[in-house]
Structure 1
Amino acid sequence: MLTGSTLARRALGRELRRLREAAGMNQSVAGRVIGVSPQTIGRMEDGLPTKVSDLYINALCDAYAAVTTERTMLLTLAYEVRATRKAGGGWWRAYADAMQVGFDHYMSLEESAQRLGIWKTAVIPGLLQTAEYRRSIEWTQHPEMPPEQVEKRIEIALRRQQRLGEADFTIDAILWEAVLRDQIGGSRVMADQMQRLLEVSQSPNVSLRVVPFDCRGHLGSCVGSFVILEFSNLAATGLTTPPVVYVEEYAGDLYLERESEVSRYRNAFTEISRAALDEDTSRQLILSIAKEHSQ
């Protein structure tokens, strides 16, 4: 699996910021070194798509008094970014016209992630949805959307699910019971969706648990849905890639990367895990709800 350029860009940005701050320079001064605006330096350091040539890297390394190992690492990361971009990026680029604005960034992170920790208070996670369930959501959210675009979005959802077959990719998903009892698409769609959850829960790399209605005072009642994405080290440099917390909102999404923010969500996920049923009991509850949807 290609990690894509997103992780390399993020790592490159973190190292550039670290070296600049160690050199006591602000972004305006750094920008003058290579003839760009401070905003462009900010985009580089934030890991956003922007031109990062070897000429820029070497000039900044000179200005920051970087040692040889630091310069080599930065040049390696910059090469990885360019090589991946030249190869065309991730498979989802072909569906750019059908995706919601900004979701390609999440896709690049998900495709690179080694582990997902998911807490859902509404809607089945996309990686576990059936086509009919996904279709029902799209028609509810976007009743004016052309049918061909809806079908493209369903293709994206199903293509994402291919990662479930990768042994080195794991999911720890915890669902609020309300997610299972909602009537998205009607009883037949929900009954089929429950069967899908039962099937995927048998996979060795998928843990699926439920927080039931009768669980009192759990933190999940106060915390909205979120995903913690964790990554392996970058192959080219061995650099550790910090986790990202993704919070999906109706009016816009959040990507949290500060250690303090990630720690809060990690602690929340731990507390919610303690409230969740074990996997076997969760499957029994899902089976029971599936039967109710089938009646």
Structure 2
Amino acid sequence: MAGSTIPRRALGRLLRELRTKVEKSQLAAGLSIEVSPQSIGRMEDGQPVKISTPQMDVLLDFYQASTEDKAVALELLREVKAAKGDPAGWWRTYADVVASHFDHYMSLEEACSQLATFQLTLLPGLLQTAAYRRSMILTERPEMSAVDVERKIELAVRRQARIREDPDFSMDVLLSEAVLRHQVGGRQLMAEQLLHLIEVGRLPNVSIRVLPLDAGSHLGLVVQSFTLFEFPPLRASRLIEPPVVFVEGYDGALFLEEPRVIERRQKALEDVGRVALDHDDTRRLVVGIAEEYAA
């Protein structure tokens, strides 16, 4: 578990449900344990808030929580407190060279057990070679110093280590053929990148399939690129956090959690998957394009 992000979200969701059930305001809840209503709101949103176990006991009594709900909430609070001591958040040392939303993104990427992504134009960071990554960094930020460029590449390499080192992590990647055709950094660089893609695709926890350009109409063209995170049960409480969808744009990013939105994205992945090539045909297509670049 990456820090306390996921158990905090689960605890916040439970506390909001309990408060709403007894029709108490955030102001009343805050007064019951002598904290501000803003603190109650932040806690319900899964943000860090200092709260002691005795305070939580009082709050749960105020909410008239059942014995079962109280046990779950206290267990989640223990998970939050225990996670604060975990050696998590290693990526924060790169905060000065990444976007402001990256910390939250990484807390989700590190905590998830399954990552599914559909990409229309570029390879996801977990599949990029160092040369591909360098080319994209310099395209976006040509003024970036050589030192900072290399730090960003180092960050990408450290993220990619999980693919090979964590047997409980799986990745399902759907790529438009356009991703393979965009000549990022030139033909030779792309030839090497596609060979890397074939290598990673052989790993047992990785699925890579390509959507051919002649596939016709499909939901992916409407939905555009996105990533779906799914999470394992929390260590002690065994609760499972709902999935999160990540959508990145040039000027910012969205983290979507509404059940209706998640369901629509899951259906989009299913629709794209139905028209994507199977693994063998994907490999043949990738090899063929790599040979074209190398010729």
TM-score grouping bracket, smaller chain normalisation: over 0.9
Corresponding letter in the other structure for 1:141: E
Show the 5 A alignment for 1:98-247. Answer: 98-165=97-164, 166-247=166-247
User: What do the CA deviations read for 1:158-178 (whole angstroms, capped 9, x no partner)?
Assistant: 111111112221111000111
1:17 paired with 2:10, answer no
User: What do the CA deviations read for 1:69-91 (whole angstroms, capped 9, x no partner)?
Assistant: 32232222122212222334332
Distance (whole Å) between structure 2 residues aligned to residue 50 and residue 134 of structure 1:
37
Corresponding letter in the other structure for 1:278: D
1:66 paired with 2:70, answer no
Distance (whole Å) between structure 1 residues aligned to residue 101 and residue 37 of structure 2:
23
TM-score normalized by structure 2? 0.95
Identify the residue that residue 257 of structure 1 maps to in structure 2: 257
The answer to whether the 8 A contact 1:98-1:153 is kept is yes
| Runs ≥4 residues deviating over 4 A | none
The answer to whether the 8 A contact 2:174-2:209 is kept is yes
Distance (whole Å) between structure 2 residues aligned to residue 250 and residue 210 of structure 1:
24
Show the 5 A alignment for 1:80-91. Answer: 80-91=79-90
Give the secondary structure class of the aligned counterpart of 1:253.
strand
Distance (whole Å) between structure 1 residues aligned to residue 141 and residue 25 of structure 2:
44
Distance (whole Å) between structure 2 residues aligned to residue 204 and residue 86 of structure 1:
32
Mean Cα deviation higher: 220-229 or 89-98 = 89-98
Mean Cα deviation higher: 58-67 or 12-21 = 58-67
User: What do the CA deviations read for 1:243-291 (whole angstroms, capped 9, x no partner)?
Assistant: 1111111111111111111000001110010110111101111111111
Give the secondary structure class of the aligned counterpart of 1:86.
coil
Give the secondary structure class of the aligned counterpart of 2:97.
coil
Mean Cα deviation higher: 283-292 or 25-34 = 25-34
Displacement, 1:31?
A: 2.3
Distance (whole Å) between structure 1 residues aligned to residue 21 and residue 230 of structure 2:
27
Corresponding letter in the other structure for 2:132: Y
1:248 paired with 2:260, answer no
* Gap runs ≥5 in structure 2: none
Identify the residue that residue 93 of structure 2 maps to in structure 1: 94
Identify the residue that residue 290 of structure 1 maps to in structure 2: 290
Displacement, 1:60?
A: 1.2
Displacement, 1:210?
A: 0.5
For this pair of structures, how many residues does the alignment match? 294
TM-score normalized by structure 1? 0.95
Give the secondary structure class of the aligned counterpart of 2:249.
coil
Query: Superposition RMSD on alpha carbons, in Å?
Result: 1.4
Distance (whole Å) between structure 2 residues aligned to residue 102 and residue 216 of structure 1:
34
* Gap runs ≥5 in structure 1: none
Mean Cα deviation higher: 241-250 or 73-82 = 73-82
Would the alpha carbon gap of residues 87 and 3 (structure 1) be closer, same or farther in structure 2, given more than 3 Å must change? closer
Distance (whole Å) between structure 2 residues aligned to residue 37 and residue 189 of structure 1:
55
User: What do the CA deviations read for 1:19-55 (whole angstroms, capped 9, x no partner)?
Assistant: 1111111222222223333332221111122323323
